[in-house]
């Protein structure tokens, strides 16, 4: 059986006055119906990887890959029209901050319904029922009222649950979550992640969780890729994270404070320990 996602030698580059700068430099991984975490600092290329899978790198940016296949479909040669049929319907992405990623002048209900109607033809009544049902699934109380609200009228946590509802309503096979909780209060972060986790498990979807938070990724994922400067420096099972070998990963892990801290000072990443930068 072919894997859900097969990425080989993915490259993303942007033009600069000094020539093209590669932000993703030959990334390879395969993904089944499992939960993969991609961790890295800002600028490491993790978000660009997520967008490249959906082929959403806008010009003048450019993406190339030896192989980029989803469920046996070669995405590199797919027409834009066929690609659009996949987006949302089979591969979806939860964006970072609901304050900016929801259209400010469309009601929540209209935006969720649009995700559904882009891929399915349904009667108005059925659409409404599906939207309400989906809002129930993401634990929103009084969904009838919420469908009529505009994004500025809902809180951040609720906005992100609306985002999840919108991205899961066409029932995709692969969900990319790009820093889904970075813009949220700590108190609602766990709720939102538990919700994503539960829905993904229930539906047997593949998940790519992109985050800068090692602990969080370790908790919610089966496997972890650590990215640095556009490359994967470490790939391991989440349970084996403590056995990580690469100095960058070890440095990151060492910098995490513990519950019973004995060190007077947390170590700072020593960037001379690995080659490259």
Partner 1 sequence: MPLRRKTAGAQRLKQAARSLGGFVVVTALTFIGLMAITFFIGRVIPIDPVLAVVGDRATQEQYDAARVAMGLDRPLVLQFVSYVGDVFQGNLGHSVSTNRPVAQDLARVFPATLEMATLGILIGVGLGVPCGTWAAARQGTWVDQLIRVFALLGYSVPAFWLGLVGLVVFYANLGWVAGPGRVDIFYEGLVEPRTGLMLVDAALASDWEVFWNALDHLILPAAILGFFSLAYIARMTRSFMLDTLGQEFITTARVKGVSEWRVIWVHGFRPIRVPLITVIGLSYAALLEGSVMIETVFSWPGIGNYLTVALLNADMNAVLGATLVIGAVFILINKLSDVLYRVLDPRSR
Cα–Cα distance for residue pair 273/277, rounded to 1 Å: 10
Q: How many residues does the chain have?
A: 277
Q: Does 78 bind partner 1 (CB under 8 A)?
A: no
Residues 145-204 that bind partner 1 (CB under 8 A): 150, 152, 163, 166-167
From its phi and psi, is residue 23 left (phi > 0), alpha (psi between -120 and 50) or beta?
A: alpha
Q: Does 71 bind partner 1 (CB under 8 A)?
A: no
Q: What is the DSSP string of 56-105?
A: -PPTT-EEE-SEEEETTEESSS--HHHHHHHBTTTEEEE-S-HHHHS-TT
Q: Does 84 bind partner 1 (CB under 8 A)?
A: yes
Binder among 21, 72, 100, 266 for partner 1 (CB under 8 A): 100
Binder among 66, 85, 194, 198 for partner 1 (CB under 8 A): 85
206-211 and 174-178 beta bridge pairing: parallel
223-228 and 231-237 beta bridge pairing: antiparallel
Q: Does 206 bind partner 1 (CB under 8 A)?
A: no
Residues 39-58 that bind partner 1 (CB under 8 A): 51, 54, 56
Closest CA to 167 of 87, 233, 239: 87
Binder among 102, 200, 210, 229 for partner 1 (CB under 8 A): 102
Contacting range for partner 1; rule: CB under 8 A; set: 8-16, 27-35, 79-87, 206-214: 79-87
Site residues, partner 1 (CB under 8 A): 51, 54, 56, 84-89, 92-93, 95-97, 100-107, 114-115, 118-119, 150, 152, 163, 166-167
């Amino acid at each position: 059986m072919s894997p859900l996602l097969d990425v080989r030698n993915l490259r993303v580059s942007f033009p600069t006055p000094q020539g093209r700068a590669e932000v993703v430099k030959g990334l390879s991984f395969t993904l089944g119906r499992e939960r993969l975490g991609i961790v890295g600092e800002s600028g490491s290329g993790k978000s660009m990887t997520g967008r490249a899978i959906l082929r959403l790198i806008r010009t003048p940016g450019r993406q190339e890959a030896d192989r980029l296949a989803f469920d046996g479909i070669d995405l590199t040669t797919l027409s834009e029209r066929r690609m659009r049929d996949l987006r949302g319907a089979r591969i979806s992405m939860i964006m970072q901050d609901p304050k900016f990623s929801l259209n400010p002048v469309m009601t929540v209900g209209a935006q969720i319904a649009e995700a559904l109607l882009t891929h399915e033809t349904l009667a108005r009544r059925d659409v409404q029922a599906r939207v309400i049902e989906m809002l129930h699934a993401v634990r929103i109380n009084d969904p009838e009222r919420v469908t009529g609200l505009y994004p500025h009228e809902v809180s951040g946590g609720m906005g992100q649950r609306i985002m999840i509802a919108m991205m899961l309503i066409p029932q995709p096979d692969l969900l990319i979550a790009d820093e889904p909780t970075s813009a949220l209060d700590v108190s609602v972060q766990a709720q939102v992640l538990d919700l994503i986790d539960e829905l993904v498990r229930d539906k047997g979807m593949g998940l790519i969780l992109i985050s800068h938070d090692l602990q969080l990724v370790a908790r919610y994922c089966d496997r972890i890729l650590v990215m640095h400067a556009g490359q994967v420096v470490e790939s391991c099972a989440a349970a084996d994270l403590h056995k990580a070998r690469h100095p960058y990963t070890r440095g990151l892990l060492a910098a995490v404070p513990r519950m019973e801290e004995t060190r007077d000072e947390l170590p700072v990443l020593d960037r001379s320990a690995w080659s490259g930068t």
